[in-house]
Structure 1
Amino acid sequence: MQRTQRANGDARRRTGCWPCKDMHVRCTEERPQCARCKRLGVQCEYGMRLLWQDDAAQRGICLGREGTWSKKGKPKAGKPKAETRASPPYFIKTTKEPIFLHTSYRHFGSQSEDDQDEEDGEVEEEEEEQQQHLYPIPTPALSPFGALPTSEAYLLDYFISGICPNCSLSPTHNPYLRYITPMTLVYPPLHNAVISIAATERQLLNDRRFDKQAWWYKSQALKGLQETIASGSISWPFIATVLMLCFGDIADGCNDSWRTHLRGGLTLINQISADCTESQMLRKFCLMYFVAHDIMGHTAGSSSLESISYTWLEDDSMEEIDPLMGCSRGLLDIINRISAISSNVERICSSRALTAEETQHMDQSRSQLELALRTLRQHVPSTTSNPNLALVAEAKRTTALLYLYDRFCSFSLSSSDPDPSEATSRHLQRLIDSLVSQLEPLPVTATLLWPLFVLANASPDNEQHRRFVLERLDNMLKTRNLGSVRLARRLVERKFRSWDLQIDESGTKDGLHLMREKKASSGSGRALRGKCISLA
C-alpha cells in the first residue's frame, strides 16, 4: 500500500497517541480512541511519558531534544559515547538500616525522664496499633482439647506449643510442660492463669480477639486463689498459680504486682512439704524462678530495693547450669552480692562521703567478687544436650564481670584511682569485645536480655554495639512482645540518648572514664518510675 504523503503546509504534530507514535504512523487523534487503535483493538493512550536520564544512557538513546529532527538539515546526533553517557548516581552501600532514637524537644527541657518515657511509650503503643503487621501472628497447631470451649482450647494449645518451648533452653527439661500443664487440668485457678497468659501474649502480638479473655481469666484466677486461702488448703498447685501470675505480669508490662506475687511465692514455698519426688522437683523449679527473677530485678532497679540472701535446697548443685535461666545458682549468688554491696554503698554516698575504712572494705569486697567470678565453674546438666547452654552461661559470667565494674566504677575507683591506668581500660574493653563475640553466634532468646542490657550500659558510645543491642532486642519483640523486653529497650534508648545529649565535644572517652561519665549523666536512669524490670 502506498504511504499517504503529507500535504504541503501540514506540519508534524506531536499530540498523537503512543501506539501510533511507536509504529511511526500518523494518528487521527480522536478521543478517547483514535480510528487506528479502534480498528486494531489496541489500547489507545495519550499523555506524557517520562524518560529518565539513566535509562536513556543505558539504552543508548538521546534525552530530551538532543539529536531531534530539524528542518535546517542539521545532522541527527548519534548515540552518545560510553565515556560521555551520564554516570550512574553514587549511593553509599550499606547492608543495615539506620538507628533512630527519636530524640525530640522534650528531651532538652526540664521534663523528667520518666515523663518523657511515658510519652514515648504512648507513642510506641499508637505505632503498634497502626502497624499491626509488625509482629507476625503465629498459627498454632490444631488443638487436641476437644472438651474445652473453642477459645480456651485455642489459648491452651498456644501456651503449650507457642510459649512453653521458648521458656527453656533444653527441650528435655521444661517444667512448664512437665509440671504446670498437667496441673491446669485439675486446678481451675491455675487453668485460668495459664489461659490469661496465653491471651495476654496474643494481645501483645496484636491479636485483638482475646482482649477481654485476658482480663477475665486473670480475675477468675485471683478469685480462685482467694477461695483457696479461705479454705486453708494451700498446696503446690496454689504456688504454681502464683508463679504463673508473676509470669503473666512480667510479660504484660512489669507492673509492681509481679513483685507482690514473687514475694508471696517465696514466703509460702517453704511452708509446704514436698512428700514425693515430683513435689521436690516442683519446689526446685519454683524456688529457682522466684529467686532468679528477684535477683535480676535488682540489676535493673533502683537502690531502694533491698537485696536479701537466699537459701537453696540441700541437694542443689551450685555449679550446675539451670536450663531455664541459662546460668548456675553460684553465679546468681555472686550477682546478688554485687547488687547488695553496691546498693548499700550508694545509699551511704547519697548522704555523706565514705570513710577510709569503708573505702578499703568496699575495695576488698569488689576484689573478692571479681576473684569469685573468674574462678567460677559452670557445667551443663547430664540430661541436657543443647550445645548453646554452656555458651549462654559463659556469656552471663562475662556479663557479671561487666556488671561489677558498672556498679562500682562511680565511687570505688574514683576514690582510690582517679586516673585509671591504660591497662585497666584495655582490660575493660577486652571484656566488652569478649561479650559481643560470645553473644553473636547465639540465637536470640529472652534469656539474653540481661547480657544485652549490661552491654548497652557498658558501651553507650560505640555505634556498632548500639546496633548490635537494638537489633537483637527488636528480634526478641518480634518473636514475643514481652513487657520486660519493651521496658529494657526504653531504658537502653534512654542511656544512648543521655550519652548523645551530654557528650563532650572533645570526643568519646575510653574505659573507666567513659563508665564514670555515663553513670554520672544517667544517674537514676537505671529504673523507670513505677516499674521494676525483671531481666531474667
Structure 2
Amino acid sequence: MPRRKATNGNQPPKSRSRSGCLTCRKRKIRCDEGKPTCSNCQSKNLECQRGVALKWEQEYASRGLAFGRCGVWNKNGSSSDEPPNADPEALRWLPLPQIQPYHFVNSTVDGFEDNLAEQEELSALSGHYGALITMPESPGSPCSSASGLETSGQFFSLPYVTSPRGSFTSPMDSILYSPKAFPQLEDRSLASLLNYYLDRLCPLTTPSVRSKSPFASLVVPFILSASPNALDSVLALAARHLAKANRSWKPVAMQLEGKVLHTLRKRLISEDPSKVALDPEVPIIMMMLCMYEIINKCDERWVIHLKGARDLFVTRKKLLAGATPDSLLHFSERFFAYQDVIGRTACGEVPIFGRDYWKSDDQEVDAWLGGSPELISIVFSITDLCRLQRVDPEAASKDKFAIEAEKLERRLASLVQTMRDPGDELLWRSAEMKRLATVVYLYCALYGASPTTPLVVDHVRQILKHVAYCVDRDITAALTWPVFVAAAELDPLQDEIWTDPETKQPVYGRPLILKALDHMSKTSVANALKTRSVITAVWQEREIKPAKSPPPPTTTGATPSGASELNDWGIFVAPFSRNMSLA
C-alpha cells in the first residue's frame, strides 16, 4: 500500500475551490479553474460546464443527505446544528410587505427599454409618419397590442372614448369625429389624434369631473379657424402623450413637433415682432410645445418656451396697453405663470413671470389650477422670500425676514378657498392638498422645519391620505406638487403613516408615493418619471446625511432660521430640482 505524501509544514493549506467548473464538481475532483476549459476537462475531452448550481434543502432531505454543511460541523466543534429553543410567546412576526415593480427606485425594466429603443426611434424618423401609422400590423406585434388602434376604412378610430373616471361631454365631441371639420388637417391619417386629445388628454388636465378643461373648451374651438401649424402643435402633443403607452407614436410626435418648430422659428425670424406678438395663435403653439417638452424629458427645453412666452406677453402688453385679454389668452398667460411659480418652489430660481399674474384676494378655486389664485400668490411670496434669504442675507435682515415670514404665515392660516360647486369633492381635495403642501413648504423653507418636525409629520400624513383617495379613483391631475412636497419631507425613519381600517394592515409612505407616481406616469400630463428621479435622489441623500432636528414650529409667530443658514429644503431638495415641472 503506497504511503501518503508527507505534508510540507511550510506550505499553506490548500483552500477549497469556489469557482471550479460544474463538470469537475460532479466528478468530485479538484478543478484548476482554467478558462475557457480547465485541464481536467481538456485531458478527458469533456464539456467544461460553468454556471451556478441551485440546491434545494427539501430535495436533500428526501434523499437522507445533509444540506451543505448543515448538521456536519460548526466553529465550536459541535456536530449538531439544531436551532436554539425559543419561547413562542416572545416571537413576533413582522408583516411581509407587498412588493410591486414600481417599488424599485434604483433601476427599472422601463428605464433599460427606453435606452435600447432610442436608436430605433431615431432611425424610424427617416420614414414618413403617415406610412408608419397606416401600415398594417401583424397580430401580436408590440404596436397592435399596446396601442389598441383599429383601422376603419381610411381613418383610425381610438377606443378611448371615455376617460378613466367617466365620459367627458362637450359640444366639440361630434366635431372631432369628423375630419372634414378641420380643412387644415393635411394628413387625414392623423385624425385619430384629435379624438385622443379631446377624449383622453383633456380630461387629464383637471381634477374636476364637473368642470370642462380649458384645453378642450378654449383651445379646440380656436384651432378650428387657426392655421395648420396650431393644429399640428395639438397633434404633436397628443402623439407624444400616446407614445407613453406605445413607442411607435414617438417618431410621429417628433416629426410633428419639428414641423411646428420650423414654421414658428421662420415666423419669428422673418415677420415683424409686433405682428407675431399680436397673433393669438403663437402663445397657443408655445403652450403646446411647452407641454410637449415636459412630457418628453422635462429638461431645460420647456423652460426655453417659458421664457419665450414671457417675452411675447411683455411685448403684447406694451402694444395693447390697458386692453383686457380674452379668455383664451388669459388662460395661456396663467398656464405659463403657474408653471413658473410651482416649478420654482423646488429650486428657488429667479422668477420668470411676476406676481402680478396672481390676485391676492381671489379666493375661488380654479378647476385647472386645483387651487385658488390667492394660494398661488402665497406660494410665490414664500419662494421669493426664501430666495432673498439665500442670495442676499444683508437685504433679508433677521428682523425684516421674521416680519415677512410671519405675514405669510398669517395669510396662509386665514386662507379661505371658495368653490363655485361645493359638491365637487375631487376639486375640494385638490385645493386642500395644495393648501397642506403650502403649509409644509412654508415651514421647511422659512422656518427650518424638517421631516421629524411634528407639524410636518402631521401635514404629510394628511396629504398622503388625500393622495391615496385620488389614486384609488384614477384621479392624478394636480397631484404632482403635493406628492413632491410630501415625498421630499417624509421622515425616512417613520415610514408607517397609518393603518388601513379595512385590511388592518399598515400603510407605508414610500410605497404609497411610488404607487401614486406609477399611476401618474400613465394617466397624467406631468412627467412623473422626472419627479420620481428627483424624489428618490432626495431619499438617498437623507439616508446618507440625516437632517438636523430644529425646534418644532407649531404655533404662529415661531422664530425663523438664521438668514445665512441653509434650511432643510435648501439642503436636500433644491440641489436636485433644476428645470422641474410640478404643475
1:525 and 1:453 map into 2 onto residues whose CA distance is 10
- 2:387 corresponds to which of 320, 334, 343: 343
Structure 1 435/525 Cα, relative in aligned 2: closer, same or farther at 3 Å?
Answer: closer
What amino acid is aligned across from residue 190 of structure 2 in structure 1?
A: E
Deviations 1:286-315 (A, max 9, x none): 1221111110110122x443465332489x
Contact 1:183 1:190 in 2 (8 A): no
Q: Secondary structure at the match of 1:97?
A: coil
1:127 and 1:209 map into 2 onto residues whose CA distance is 14
Q: Is 1:97 aligned to 2:99, yes or no?
A: yes
Deviations 1:476-498 (A, max 9, x none): 11324743x21111111011111
Q: Is 1:202 aligned to 2:242, yes or no?
A: yes
Structure 1 525/170 Cα, relative in aligned 2: closer, same or farther at 3 Å?
Answer: closer
Structure 1 509/226 Cα, relative in aligned 2: closer, same or farther at 3 Å?
Answer: closer
Who is 1:359 aligned against?
Answer: 398
After superposition, residues 79-98 of structure 1 pair within 5 angstroms as 94=96, 96-97=98-99
1:162 and 1:511 map into 2 onto residues whose CA distance is 47
Structure 1 190/340 Cα, relative in aligned 2: closer, same or farther at 3 Å?
Answer: same
Q: Secondary structure at the match of 1:319?
A: coil
Where does structure 2 lack aligned partners over 5 or more consecutive residues? 1-55, 65-91, 121-141, 150-157, 162-175, 496-507, 554-560
2:570 and 2:354 map into 1 onto residues whose CA distance is 28
Contact 1:199 1:213 in 2 (8 A): yes
Deviations 1:313-366 (A, max 9, x none): 89x9710111111011001110000001101111135xxxx69x8112112211
- 1:310 corresponds to which of 321, 335, 355: 355
Contact 2:340 2:353 in 1 (8 A): no
Contact 1:202 1:210 in 2 (8 A): yes
Deviations 1:443-468 (A, max 9, x none): 44141110111111212413322222
Structure 1 261/102 Cα, relative in aligned 2: closer, same or farther at 3 Å?
Answer: closer
1:167 and 1:102 map into 2 onto residues whose CA distance is 29
Q: Is 1:451 aligned to 2:482, yes or no?
A: yes
Q: Is 1:290 aligned to 2:340, yes or no?
A: no
2:427 and 2:478 map into 1 onto residues whose CA distance is 10
> In terms of mean alpha carbon deviation, does 168-177 or 320-329 score higher?
168-177
Structure 1 445/268 Cα, relative in aligned 2: closer, same or farther at 3 Å?
Answer: same
Contact 2:445 2:570 in 1 (8 A): no
Who is 2:454 aligned against?
Answer: 426
After superposition, residues 383-394 of structure 1 pair within 5 angstroms as 386-394=424-432
Who is 2:305 aligned against?
Answer: 261
Structure 1 473/358 Cα, relative in aligned 2: closer, same or farther at 3 Å?
Answer: same
TM superposition score normalised by structure 2: 0.61
Q: Is 1:498 aligned to 2:545, yes or no?
A: no
Deviations 1:105-130 (A, max 9, x none): xxxxxxxxxxxxxx999657348889
Q: Is 1:478 aligned to 2:522, yes or no?
A: yes
Who is 1:329 aligned against?
Answer: 373
Deviations 1:35-66 (A, max 9, x none): xxxxxxxxxxxxxxxx9979xxxxxxxx779x
TM-superposed CA distance for 1:155, in Å, is 1.7
Aligned-pair identity (%) = 21
What amino acid is aligned across from residue 97 of structure 1 in structure 2?
A: I
TM-superposed CA distance for 1:138, in Å, is 5.8
Contact 1:395 1:451 in 2 (8 A): yes
TM-superposed CA distance for 1:500, in Å, is 1.8
Who is 1:165 aligned against?
Answer: 203
Contact 1:499 1:521 in 2 (8 A): no
Contact 1:307 1:340 in 2 (8 A): no
Contact 2:206 2:368 in 1 (8 A): yes
Who is 1:213 aligned against?
Answer: 252
Who is 1:57 aligned against?
Answer: none
After superposition, residues 19-98 of structure 1 pair within 5 angstroms as 94=96, 96-97=98-99
After superposition, residues 215-230 of structure 1 pair within 5 angstroms as 215-229=254-268, 230=271
TM superposition score normalised by structure 1: 0.66
Who is 1:532 aligned against?
Answer: 579
2:349 and 2:309 map into 1 onto residues whose CA distance is 21
Contact 1:196 1:218 in 2 (8 A): yes
Q: Secondary structure at the match of 2:283?
A: helix
1:209 and 1:480 map into 2 onto residues whose CA distance is 20
Contact 1:409 1:512 in 2 (8 A): no
Who is 1:155 aligned against?
Answer: 193
1:385 and 1:427 map into 2 onto residues whose CA distance is 29
> In terms of mean alpha carbon deviation, does 159-168 or 472-481 score higher?
472-481
1:285 and 1:453 map into 2 onto residues whose CA distance is 25
1:347 and 1:121 map into 2 onto residues whose CA distance is 39
RMSD: 4.3
After superposition, residues 2-21 of structure 1 pair within 5 angstroms as none
Contact 1:428 1:511 in 2 (8 A): no
1:138 and 1:239 map into 2 onto residues whose CA distance is 33
Contact 2:236 2:256 in 1 (8 A): yes
Who is 1:405 aligned against?
Answer: 443
Contact 2:205 2:524 in 1 (8 A): no
Who is 2:290 aligned against?
Answer: 246
2:437 and 2:264 map into 1 onto residues whose CA distance is 38
Who is 2:532 aligned against?
Answer: 489
Contact 1:192 1:217 in 2 (8 A): yes
TM-superposed CA distance for 1:400, in Å, is 0.2
Who is 1:144 aligned against?
Answer: 177
> In terms of mean alpha carbon deviation, does 384-393 or 286-295 score higher?
384-393
1:256 and 1:219 map into 2 onto residues whose CA distance is 17
2:306 and 2:93 map into 1 onto residues whose CA distance is 54
TM-superposed CA distance for 1:509, in Å, is 6.1
TM-superposed CA distance for 1:258, in Å, is 1.8
> In terms of mean alpha carbon deviation, does 489-498 or 261-270 score higher?
261-270
Who is 1:437 aligned against?
Answer: 465
1:450 and 1:348 map into 2 onto residues whose CA distance is 27
Contact 1:297 1:534 in 2 (8 A): yes
Who is 1:12 aligned against?
Answer: none
What amino acid is aligned across from residue 233 of structure 2 in structure 1?
A: A
Contact 2:358 2:377 in 1 (8 A): no
What amino acid is aligned across from residue 96 of structure 1 in structure 2?
A: Q
- 1:189 corresponds to which of 217, 226, 229: 229
Instruction: Count the aligned residue pairs.
Output: 413
TM-superposed CA distance for 1:136, in Å, is 5.9
Who is 1:84 aligned against?
Answer: none
2:569 and 2:413 map into 1 onto residues whose CA distance is 30
What amino acid is aligned across from residue 125 of structure 1 in structure 2?
A: D
Who is 1:34 aligned against?
Answer: none
What amino acid is aligned across from residue 369 of structure 1 in structure 2?
A: L
